[in-house]
Amino acid sequence: MDLFDQRAAVDESEGQYGLSGEMKKTQYVLQLLGAPWCPDTLKCILVAAEQGMEMTCGLLDVSENEQDSSDYLAVSPLGVAPALKESDYTTAGVRAITEFINARGLGNTLIPMNAVQASDQDCWIEIARTQAEPAINTLVAECVCSDSGDAGKIDEAKAALGPVLDQVNDALSKNDYLVGKNFSLADIHWEADMYLLGLTAGNDLIESRSNIKNWMNGLQNKKSACGQDVVASSFLPSAADIKAKKMPPIIKIEDF
Amino acid sequence: MGLFGFGGKKEKTASAGKGDKISFNGGSDAVTAKCILTAGVRGVEMDINLSGDGANLSHGPVSAQGESACVTYFDKKGTGQSLRPKKARLLGDQNYWMDVSCQYLDRGEKVNEVLAKLDETLANQDFIVGQLSLADPVVAGSVMALKKAGNCPSGLSNVDAWLGRVEQKIPENLRANYMGQLG
């Protein structure tokens, strides 16, 4: 039994989505190992919900360096996290998982076909990962995971985020979503980041930027990309869950 | 039909004209090597300036900044079929190696482990996911940078043979004029 089956076990009882014959045989239930405070893990959860893919989730406690444990290296040999399993296939890393689920999923692709939009999408994803997430990770560590945050670190992280969020706010003044009229993987990346930021003392950075705030409000009411009666953000862990290191046990799709 | 996503609404975006040539600016680093290798493999013609910092391109009214944006743009603008695999598992494998290249190789972390794994992967196939994909020029850019810095372990015969296969996919003028400067 590998780490996926230990921590994100699939309930194989009759009627389980994807296992009882309603769906195509290739659509197996997904199993995810990640951490609830990790932006990359939340992106995987959001894509699964958007694309109508049922997924069981288990904790990989990277705060305890579990990504270097022998059990984890057995499923992700280079220690890349989060990791995903679909039947006999395993992959790891946010780019691999989100695009794998997007390709497997039931909805329209979340990746633009148009060269300019596809390039813009990847640019926004890179900005999120390289410029926003280091500061957001600090804020989550200090404000959500810790009982007494370091005020100096919090102020420094907020100051670093301001100019980046101004760019996002500006982009959202022109379009419904980050790369135009259609929801894309760029929105997934920033949705996860802004969700985590909203749980911290950096929430005022969102409140003071009306376009980001309106975009977030829209996402909290948006039906999933595959048209099922699911709001993807409703699966994200609460601040209490994050502090308790609790992953959402399952992304359950009942409206299929 | 899904309510959102790119099977739905179409919209007009800025686009380059037929006479517009791509102009690429980069430094002498792994990121630039990845971009030039991708453009070369996809047969994209462009003017290259290596005196800059980071990676960015302009193409008529279009501009793109950063490794991922440039690599994607070159792939989309290339001739023939995109290098992105259509099958989900191959796409996952491609992206896994692209993430590994950024997360470890470009930062000089776990270099021996990653390259040993890559060598093992390439023992029975010509390219990283089997067929030629974006993972090949991207990871090759990282490996070339490590080699130039003298940080690439020796004895990886499958990696060396693969690097040769990837370099053979790019036009001679790119190999002759730019590849020696990168990394």
Let me know whether B56 and B107 are in one domain. Answer: no
Residues B133 and B162 in one domain: yes
For chain A, list the domains and their CATH numbers: 3-107+225-243 (3.40.30.10), 115-219 (1.20.1050.10)
Q: Which of B96, B119, B128, B142 should we substitute to test contact with A (largest number of A Cβ atoms within 10 Å)?
A: B96
Q: Which of A41, A39, A40 is nearest to A7 (CA)?
A: A41
Tell me the residues of B at the A interface, defined by beta carbons under 8 Å apart: 1-9, 11, 13-15, 62, 64-73, 76-77, 86-89, 91-96, 98-100, 103-104, 110, 113-114, 117
| pLDDT tens sequence for chain B (183 residues) | 334 556 555 666 777 777 789 999 999 899 999 999 999 999 999 999 998 888 999 999 999 999 999 999 999 999 999 999 999 999 999 999 999 999 999 999 999 999 999 999 999 999 999 999 999 999 999 999 999 999 999 999 999 999 999 999 999 988 887 777 665
Regarding whether B120 and B67 lie in a shared domain, the answer is: no
* Residue B149 forms part of a structural domain: yes
The pLDDT score that the predictor gives to residue B178 is 75
Size of interface A-B (CB pairs under 8 A): 138
Cβ distance of B6 and A109 shorter than 8 Å? yes
User: What mean pLDDT value characterizes chain A?
Assistant: 92
Clarify whether residues B29 and B99 are in a common domain: no
Cβ atoms of B129 and B162 closer than 8 Å: no
Taking the CA of residue B176 and the nearest CA in chain A, the distance in Å comes to 28
Q: Does one domain contain both B49 and B96?
A: no
> Is B8 inside a domain boundary?
no
Q: Is residue B71 part of a domain?
A: yes
Is residue A74 helix, strand or coil?
A: coil
| Global pTM value | 0.93
Overall average pLDDT of the A2-29 stretch:
68
What's the confidence (pLDDT) of residue A26?
46
Shared-domain flag, residues B56 and B115: no
The per-residue pLDDT for B114 is 98
- Let me know whether B73 and B93 are in one domain: no
State how many domains chain B has: 2
**B117 and B135 housed in the same domain:** yes
Look up the ipTM and state it.
Answer: 0.92
Answer yes or no: is B161 within a domain.
yes
Grouping H, G, I as helix, E, B as strand and the rest as coil, residue A31 is strand
Q: What is the CATH number of the domain that holds B31?
A: 3.40.30
Q: Identify whether residues B139 and B176 lie together within a single domain.
A: no
Q: What is the pLDDT of residues A241-252, one digit of tens each?
A: 999 999 987 877
Q: Is residue B176 part of a domain?
A: yes
* Contact residues on chain A for B94, CB-CB shorter than 8 A: 96
- Report how far residue B90's alpha carbon sits from residue B87's, in angstroms, rounded to the nearest whole number: 5
What pLDDT score was predicted for residue B8? 55
State whether B65 and B106 are in the same domain: no
Residue B16 identity (one-letter amino acid): A
CA A80 to chain B, closest CA, distance in angstroms equals 8
Task: Give the closest residue to A49 by CA, choosing from A188, A212, A218, A179.
Answer: A188
Is residue B1 included in any domain, yes or no?
A: no
> Rounded CA gap, A189 and A205, in Å?
17
Query: Rounded to a whole number, what is the distance in Å from the CA of A99 to chain B's nearest CA?
Result: 7
Residue B103 belongs to a domain with what CATH number?
Answer: 1.20.1050.10
The amino acid sitting at A255 is D
pLDDT at residue A229 in the model: 83
DSSP state of A142: I
Nearest Cα residue in chain A from B60: A116
* Cβ-nearest to A78 among B71, B89, B104: B104
For residue A194, give the 3-state DSSP assignment.
helix
Separation of alpha carbons A150 and B32, rounded Å: 38
Closest partner residue to A99 among B69, B95, B110, by Cβ? B95
Quick check: A182 and B4 CB within 8 A?
A: yes
Q: pLDDT tens digits for A151-160?
A: 999 999 999 9
Q: Are residues B73 and B99 in the same domain?
A: no
- To 10 degrees, the CA torsion angle through B84, A39, A136, B57? 0
Q: Taking CB atoms and an 8 Å limit, are B92 and A183 in contact across chains?
A: no
Chain A partners within 8 Å of B93 (Cβ):
91, 96
B112 within some domain: yes
> In chain A, which residue's Cα lies nearest the Cα of B68?
A122
Predicted pLDDT at A18: 52
| CB distance B178 to B36 below 8 Å | yes
| B76 domain residue, yes or no | yes
Contact of B85 with B76, CB cutoff 8 Å: no
Range of the structural domain that residue B113 is part of: 88-168
Give chain B positions within 8 Å (CB) of A84: 92
Measured between beta carbons, the chain A residues lying within 8 angstroms of B100 are: 78, 80, 93
Chain B residue at shortest CA distance from A76: B96
- Summarised one tens digit per residue, pLDDT across range A152-199 is 999 999 999 999 999 999 999 999 999 999 999 999 999 999 999 999
Per-residue pLDDT at A55? 93
Are B68 and B134 in the same domain?
no
pLDDT one-digit tens code per residue, A90-147: 999 999 999 999 999 888 899 999 999 999 999 999 999 999 999 999 999 999 998 8
